[in-house]
Structure 1
Amino acid sequence: MHHMSWLEAGVIGAVQGITELFPVSSLGHSVLIPAVIGGSWQADLNVRSPESPYLAFIVGLHVATAVALIIYFWRDWLRILTGLITSIAHRSVRTADQRLAWLLVLATIPVGLVGLVAEHWFRTTLSKPVPTAIFIMINGLLLLGAEALRRRDRTVDTEYVDERTTGPISDRQLARQPVGQATLIGSAQILALAPGISRSGVTMVAGMLRGLNREDAARFSFLLATPVILAAGALKLGDLTGPLGEGVRGQVLFGSLMSGVGAYLSVRFLTRYLANRSLRPFGIYCLALGVGCLVWFTVR
């Protein structure tokens, strides 16, 4: 029987839910927090151990995060899924909702394929405290670099789309993106397989560097994240129903609740914050966290 305390599950669940959407890397925090605290935390919460349920736990928390995103954006997902279904039924892409749906599908494929093939290598090779601290510093530099280089209010390249839709103006703008650009932005999520690189952060950076304003880049990032983290979590839930889940299923449910609440509150905050504020504070935080962890690991 495996051990994971209720405190460990609650803390990691809440942190994962919040940091999954903040551009600061949830997996990076899930690796660094046990390493910094040490003791039983480091023993119980080892993402690289094949005998620990921790990896299945933190990936399973993604289901709660995805559910929180679906709840927050339920009207948007209803439009987008309706657009996808009607597009398939009519074999045409005419509305902005239909085109945005297909852009999200195409942009999700690269990270899905790479994740299936390379997730184990990333976890066993890179999910160590020191590499994670270095990657989180790189994440901070990416955020700061994007803010320094971004071209303000550049309009994305357009192709004709019938804009009959009830969706927000932002989604009409996102639907005008060329297929190649949307796929490139979605492919940036591959970098987030490395612990310390934020999925939302790299997609925001990629969007901003391709000319999206910060608010549109954030919205596209959140929409892209939903199917990816839902699929990743669903694939690992089976592990928790088997031997790896013995003795920790209650903690998993508690951690999932904390993760869902944290994710809902964070997306609610970020959609407002990123409308007119910078990513620089998150970049500075990542640099400070990475440096602080490296110093701690050296002197401890």
Structure 2
Amino acid sequence: MSHLSYLEAIVVGAFQGVTELFPVSSLGHSVLVPALVGGRWAADLNVSTPESPYLAFIVGLHVATAAALLLFFWRDWVRILGGFVSSVRHRRVRTPAERLAWLIIVATIPVGISGLLLEHLFRTTLGRPIPAAAFLLANGLVLYAGERLRRRAETAAGAAEATDALPAADGADAPGAAQDAGAAADARLSRMSVGRGTLIGSAQILALLPGISRSGITMVAGLLRGLSHEDAARFSFLLATPVILAAGVLKIPDLFGPLGAGIHGQVLAGSIASFASAYLAVRYLTRYFQTRTLTPFAVYCVLAGAGSLAWLTLT
């Protein structure tokens, strides 16, 4: 793969950073963009090739994306890691930080196991342009259906914000919590039951399918389980961080072996692009979902998926 150009690496890196966090599927775009561009791009950037160096490259970019998430949510992760340490030390799960730490751990176990068992099968069987386009179209329909169902539930329940209806958590009303929006949001999330959190986290399994968005499907699961858009997005990003980081770390050794021969400079360039675009994306989305919905992303996925299907099958 020594012929991977710097332009390809930077474009793919920037796309990966944005589409990993926007609810539009990074893997789906990693499959579709080269196929739609055609020519050398289609030959160089084929994720379904056995022992694909391109797959090692794009998954390696996940480390940069995870680093951007860690930087943006560093205060949250300090609280969460502190909660984990205090929970282990005192053998308790009582404070909001302790509950949220274990909630994230338990909620990421299903996708971690599924990724190890199914990633290769899904990639080689479905990691081709036409299935990716079909799943991207399906992703848009899921996002739209999630918004419709959420709206009906709000109407039936009197349009109350779901997180406000969760049981009170110890320490949620501690002095100063109202002044720290992040701490207040984490406290709200910590009130979820383990079953609810695990169900939301398990939705990430569907993101193994190219075209299904990790953040999108997790947000829909959160909305249907009673979270607001803002809290569903935050929980989605917190859940995604260890999963994305672990996936990247597992593939990094490949980039230092034969699969990465001759592309270390390109990997660095792509990683920088991925880090920058992911940081800007999460900064934008955390503000966007304070007042807006998944509907525009649903429309984009339906149009992009349907258009890609038409182009790939009719040309």
What is aligned with 2:292?
277
> Which whole-Å CA distance do the structure 2 matches of 1:229 and 1:39 have between them?
30
Pairwise CA distance, 1:299: 2.6
**SS, match of residue 50 in structure 1:** coil
TM-score scaled by length of structure 2: 0.93
For the pair 1:73 / 2:73, whether they are aligned, the reply is: yes
What is aligned with 2:41?
41
User: Which residue identity does 1:230 align to in structure 2?
Assistant: L
> Which whole-Å CA distance do the structure 1 matches of 2:189 and 2:162 have between them?
13
What is aligned with 1:154?
162
Larger displacement relative to structure 2 (227-236 or 47-56) = 47-56
Q: 1:289 aligns with which of 304, 307, 310?
A: 304
What is aligned with 2:4?
4
What is aligned with 1:192?
207
State how many pairs are aligned.
300
User: Structure 2, unaligned stretches of length 5 or more?
Assistant: none
Deviations 1:228-287 (A, max 9, x none): 000000000000000110111110110000000000000000000010011110000000
Deviations 1:39-75 (A, max 9, x none): 1101100101135410000000000000000001111
> Which whole-Å CA distance do the structure 2 matches of 1:126 and 1:50 have between them?
13
- 1:135-284 correspondence runs (5 A): 135-150=135-150, 151=154, 152=159, 153-155=161-163, 156-158=165-167, 160-163=169-172, 164=174, 167-284=182-299
Larger displacement relative to structure 2 (141-150 or 198-207) = 141-150
> Which whole-Å CA distance do the structure 2 matches of 1:105 and 1:298 have between them?
42
User: Structure 1, unaligned stretches of length 5 or more?
Assistant: none
> Which whole-Å CA distance do the structure 1 matches of 2:75 and 2:188 have between them?
18
Pairwise CA distance, 1:160: 4.8
4+ residue stretches of structure 1 with deviation over 6 A? none
> Which whole-Å CA distance do the structure 2 matches of 1:213 and 1:14 have between them?
29
TM-score scaled by length of structure 1: 0.97
Identity in percent: 63
**SS, match of residue 168 in structure 1:** helix
Pairwise CA distance, 1:100: 0.4
**SS, match of residue 288 in structure 1:** helix
Give the conservation status (yes or no) of the 8 Å contact 1:157–1:178: no
